[in-house]
Amino acid sequence: MSLFVRNLAKDPEDEVSPAEFLFHVRGVGGVGKSTLLREWQERARAAGAVSAVVDEGDVHGVEQALVEVARQLAEQAGPLKEFDRAAEQHRKEQEAAVEPGPMEGGPDAVAQGGDRSRSGVRARGRRGRGGDESRVRRAFVTELGKLCERYEWVVLFFDTWERTGRYLDGWLRALLEDEYGPLPTNVMVVLAGRDQLAEREWGPLRAQVVDVPLEVFTEAETRALLAARDVTAPDVVDAVFQLSMGLPLLVDLLAHARPGAAEDVDPDGDVVDAAVERFVQWVTDARQREAVLACALAPHLNKEVFDAAAPEDARELWEWLCRQPFVSGHGGFKQYHAVVRASMVRRQRTHSPQHWMAAHLRLADTHAAWRAAAAHGLSEEKRWSDARWLRHHVDETYHRLCAQPTASLGRALEQAVHAAGQDTAALRQWVGNLELAARDTAEPTLVSWAGRLRTAVASADPALECLTALLSHGPLDLTTRAWCHTYRGRRLYHLDRNEEAIAELDRAVAADPRNVRGWVYRGEAHRWLNHLTQALADYTTALALSPDDAFLLAKRGETYCADERYDEAMADLTGALELDPALAWALVARGETHRMAGRYDEAVTDLTAAITLDSSYTWCMTARGQAHRQAGRYDEAITDLTAAIHLDPTDAWAFAQRGEAHREAGRYDEAITDLTAAIHLDPTDAWALCGRGEAHRQAGRYDQAITDLTAAIERDSTLAWAFGCRGEAHRQAGRYDEAVTDLTAALQLDPAYAWALAKRGEAHRQAGRYDEAVTDLTAALQLDPAYAWAFGSRGEAHLQAGRYDEAVTDLTAAIERDPAYAWALAKRGEVHRQAGRYDEAVTDLTAALELNPTQAWVLGTRGQTHRQAGRYDEAVTDLTAAVQLDPAYAWALAERGEAHFQAGRYDEAVTDLTAAVQLDPGYFSALGNRGEAHRQAGRYDEAVTDLTAALELDPTSAWARTLRGEAHRQAGRYDDAVTDLTAALELDPANTWAHALRGEAHRQAGRYDEAITDLTAALELDPANTWAIGLRGTARRQAGDLPGAREDLERVASSPDTSTFLFERLILDTVETGAAACAEQWTDLFASPPEALDDNVSRFLPLFRALLVDHDVDIAVATEVFLTATPERDAVTDLRHYLVEFSALGGEPADRAQRCRRLVDDWQRPGADTEP
């Protein structure tokens, strides 16, 4: 006692000497373990602790024990609400999942359980038949935590551990190892039993167990107890000590008899029997003596049982009996100490067999009447789960076995079959009752059966082993054997041994074709295996046997729903509800049918009605949340799913559905939090893993997505959705081949998976396989002609393949199916833009922006369209708006730069292109275009720098090499120009522009033959290229091929660049006929208005006037003016070529040309190539 009291005063978290938390009181029967526990409990409560005690009378399973502990704790500390909710939910799930056998063992009642509709929960796997036990156990630990915040200690006492430990040992070890959540440090556990704890199971906890062995009384302790009972005569004390051998129970029992002399204590015979015999003899009141013996026949006593068992004139002795030393118990029931009761029972059976039988039969009849009363108002299928009905059924059977073991055994074994069809607790209670009857009767056949069933109950699967034993050895009639096969099939089904289950159920219906339950269970197994035709046939057969059974009708309705035969499902489920309007799960099933048929409002109506019938129906709340989610009402969905989680914090499916609602609402972090919680609760849940992978994918975290989706596929390789989502993650990450592989796998699992077909088509499109893309997208549209996205994607594939008309057709179809499809409108605008239909493009892009004004890329595309249509100011306006929406939109900045460039605003162009390059240093086209802007602005070195940087990014770009070659040419670096232009032509031999520019570089370098060759090559590629024709004419003239020059320059005389080519032809005329002959033509040219002349022509005219016509002008002054106004190297080079030609004219023009040439030579810039 002092050990326990001192421990109560300690701090459980003290680092030096913490309080102990686990005691094991052990000793032989009668040594005083139960008495010590009662005293410890009193001390604990006196110290401010809350406590509870359970013994073999309370325990046939963990959940029963927890309910009893919670009841006792609630009496002291108030309701344990979270535990009560979890226990109630568990009870309902047991009622829904366990279909009990009929009371009389016949096939006159059909299972009325409410299994959750597997059509709606198949992806989550099959839940065990008793519901989720871990939820109840976690809730118990949670409540212990709350109590420990209010009280110094919570002390849990478990008596008769040699019996209760059969059912509680594994749970208790898991509890102590925090498997159900952290156990508070101020929870103390006390076990009391006869045997030491098994080393194999308790070895890891051995160091934490405080062993409290109880020994028999010493002689001194015996004398002290006897003295307390006024038994002091030395010879009597010696006799009691010798007879009792110091066993406290017997010492106390003998002390209560108060023997007067040593002769009253007879040491002959069995010690216990002798002690009990003496006690009975020393009870001098005959009524008391008869009451003690009569009540020993009842394993458990309350006032009602006492009144039924005791003689009529002894019925006021209940309180007296409860005070006897061998009577103990808590709550409403008492029991004799097992040692004392066994002796009294044995005495009566052997001494008065007729009285024994009559008394037991009278008690059996009494319990039968009570059982019938308990069944009143209780549906037959719920009787086995009703504690009162079951207690009377068990006690009635016990008394009949004691009275007539041989005659009653067959009936008891038949009922054992039905007990095995219930939960394990009911089976253990029934088998424990048979064991007790076997011990009390010692009847060999009954003892044999009790041993056989005790072994079965101790196995890993008690129900299956018991049913196997009963089938193998039991004297069962054909109907009962059919039930045995039925329950075995049901159990095998719940173990996922489906083929064995169906075979067993085949035997059940073959043995008894009228066994409705056999047909129902086989239908259930077929339905789980998706053998829907067979399932419907079995349910229909069952309904023919029991046509007014609401449960059966609802089951068939569920199966129609799973077969997507929604109208037939609705008919059955509505019919079931007409038969039983309170059948909440049928309302749920009808709501689920509406949901699966896409009728979300009707689904919510039915599910709301089901919740009204039962507000604690967690699954119903979850299902309504799912309906709201699929209807796009995410806030309502989250409200319902949060309520479901509040009702059941261990409901993984509710967490998964709430996560899915968050994901569809775009709240990816919240989605991942909930889906992670679901996975933590159920690590095997492939659906939740897939959902979390999708959330990661939509949040752009493709690697995390693929990790989760791969894990989902490892758990369920038949999940087409997981393959599809992983393929989509690969596609978005740019891994198109991996995407196609996964999406193909999804389609192999589900060939009608239109989404996967469309996404595979999109992967092909992005990989540049446009024909394969169109094939897949066409197949998707054949499956789903209303699939607007697939039309849009196919239109995009056609666009990229250059099939503009087909693209417009598909995008128009997408818009017809979804007029608010802004992307499709914008993309059709893009098709029109690429086809050169700029007005139609602007119309579509404007419509898209009206639907969504915040689409920066659409504003950018409309700006691009305006630019290509030559509306540069409108282009700049749109592109500026795009940049305002997205300041990091490098493409829009570059495109605006291009618009400025084309409008001749080179500095603004450079500013925008620089900003684009700062945002994206690898932006090749922006670098190239900035180089081009610099070139057009005459900044050739800056141009070369940018174009060189662009070529470092893409050395294969013929465009950039051509531009850099042109910049070199304009800077007068003709060899560098030829090098770049040659490289460009190696990359793109059909590049007409590069041929022509290289020809011009050769011409300006004085290599006229090479020039003519290149320009001729350009004209072979593009015979109508007037620019190349004119350049070749100039090169031929400067090479001395005047007829050839005449031919070329005459061809281009009427081209848009008339002033340039007229200028070159006039020089040809001057070379051929002399300056004087052409003076009038030159005078007319000099008099032309500036706007009629090309800038390249205008720059030469003042100097040419001084050279050819107006000789009064100082040639040095005219030359200086030209060189000052025209700093471009290529213009100076062209001038020197012209001066060479004019120097050959003779006369004053030739002299002035030669003087001008010398002045130009003196003015040469460094770095230029050698010129003629």
CB 584 within 8 A of CB 614: yes
pLDDT greater at residue 1105 or residue 60:
1105
Residue 829 CB-density burial (10 A; 0-12 exposed, 13-18 middle, 19+ buried)? buried
pLDDT for position 135: 81
Min mean pLDDT across 19-33, 285-299, 381-395, 1041-1055 is at: 19-33
Q: Which CATH number fits domain 2-213: 3.40.50.300, 3.40.50.10490, 1.20.1560.10, 3.30.1330.10?
A: 3.40.50.300
| Residue 121 pLDDT > 60 | no
* Alpha-carbon span 892 to 878, nearest angstrom: 9
pLDDT greater at residue 272 or residue 907:
907
Tokens 């898209």 sit on residue? 848
pLDDT for position 256: 66
β pairing state of 22-26 and 210-213: parallel
Q: Report the amino acid identity of residue 888.
A: A
What tokens does 430 get? 């029934």
| Residue 1164 pLDDT > 80 | no
CB 1006 within 8 A of CB 1037: no
* Alpha-carbon span 154 to 69, nearest angstrom: 11
Predicted confidence (pLDDT) per residue in 201-213, tens digit = 898 888 888 888 8
pLDDT tier at 1172 (50, 70, 90 boundaries)?
very low
* Alpha-carbon span 1002 to 977, nearest angstrom: 9
What tokens does 74 get? 């609630």
Residue 1051 CB-density burial (10 A; 0-12 exposed, 13-18 middle, 19+ buried)? middle
Cα 87 to Cα 60, 93, 584, 824, 895: the distances in Å are: 16, 10, 19, 55, 67
Cα 707 to Cα 100, 655, 685, 693, 739: the distances in Å are: 45, 20, 15, 7, 15
pLDDT for position 38: 86
Predicted confidence (pLDDT) per residue in 1045-1090, tens digit = 999 999 988 776 567 788 999 999 999 999 999 999 999 999 988 8
* Alpha-carbon span 1056 to 1043, nearest angstrom: 23
Parse the chain into domains and list their residue ranges. 2-213, 219-282, 657-854
**3-state DSSP helix/strand/coil % of the chain, to nearest 5:** 70, 5, 25
> To 10 degrees, the CA torsion angle through 1023, 1029, 1035, 1038?
140
**DSSP secondary structure, 588-627, as one string:** HHHHHHHHHTT-HHHHHHHHHHHHHH-TT-HHHHHHHHHH
CB 421 within 8 A of CB 466: no
pTM of the model: 0.65
* Alpha-carbon span 99 to 249, nearest angstrom: 45
**3-class DSSP assignment, residue 801:** coil
CB 867 within 8 A of CB 895: yes
pLDDT for position 563: 93
| Residue 482 pLDDT > 70 | yes
Min mean pLDDT across 18-22, 38-42, 120-124, 125-129 is at: 120-124
CB 480 within 8 A of CB 430: no
* Alpha-carbon span 825 to 946, nearest angstrom: 37
Q: Report the amino acid identity of residue 60.
A: H
The length of the chain is 1172
Residue 1080 CB-density burial (10 A; 0-12 exposed, 13-18 middle, 19+ buried)? exposed
Predicted confidence (pLDDT) per residue in 149-175, tens digit = 999 999 999 888 888 888 888 899 999
pLDDT for position 991: 96
| Residue 859 pLDDT > 90 | yes
H-run or E-run covering 26:
strand 22-26
pLDDT greater at residue 110 or residue 1054:
1054
Q: With pLDDT > 90 as the criterion, what percentage of the chain qualifies?
A: 68
Predicted confidence (pLDDT) per residue in 750-763, tens digit = 999 999 999 999 99
Which sign, positive or negative, has the C-alpha torsion 228, 234, 236, 242?
Answer: positive
Mean pLDDT over the full length of the chain? 88
* Alpha-carbon span 287 to 292, nearest angstrom: 9
Nearest partner of 7 among 19, 22, 24, judged by Cα: 19
Predicted confidence (pLDDT) per residue in 757-796, tens digit = 999 999 999 999 999 999 999 999 999 999 999 999 999 9
| Residue 111 pLDDT > 60 | no
* Alpha-carbon span 940 to 966, nearest angstrom: 9
Residue 362 CB-density burial (10 A; 0-12 exposed, 13-18 middle, 19+ buried)? middle
Q: What is the average pLDDT across 906-928? A: 97
- CB crowding 270-296: b at 16 or more within 10 Å, else e: eebebbbbbbbebbeeebbbbbbbbbb
| Residue 243 pLDDT > 70 | no
Min mean pLDDT across 203-207, 535-539, 551-555, 952-956 is at: 203-207
CB 1097 within 8 A of CB 1134: no
pLDDT tier at 557 (50, 70, 90 boundaries)?
very high
pLDDT greater at residue 846 or residue 284:
846
Most confident of 37-41, 228-232, 460-464, 885-889: 885-889
Cα 835 to Cα 217, 407, 808, 811: the distances in Å are: 108, 98, 10, 15
Tokens 């009377």 sit on residue? 392
β pairing state of 210-213 and 335-336: unpaired
Instruction: Count Cα atoms within 13 angstroms, Cβ side, for 310.
Output: 23
pLDDT for position 102: 29
**DSSP secondary structure, 845-906, as one string:** HHHHHHH-TT-HHHHHHHHHHHHHTT-HHHHHHHHHHHHHH-TT-HHHHHHHHHHHHHTT-H
pLDDT for position 262: 59
What tokens does 1170 get? 């050698």
Q: What is the CATH number of domain 657-854?
A: 1.25.40.10
pLDDT for position 969: 94
195: phi then psi, degrees, rounded to nearest 5: -105, 160
Residues 6+ apart with CB under 8 A from 445: 405, 406, 409
| Residue 271 pLDDT > 90 | no
pLDDT for position 1170: 41
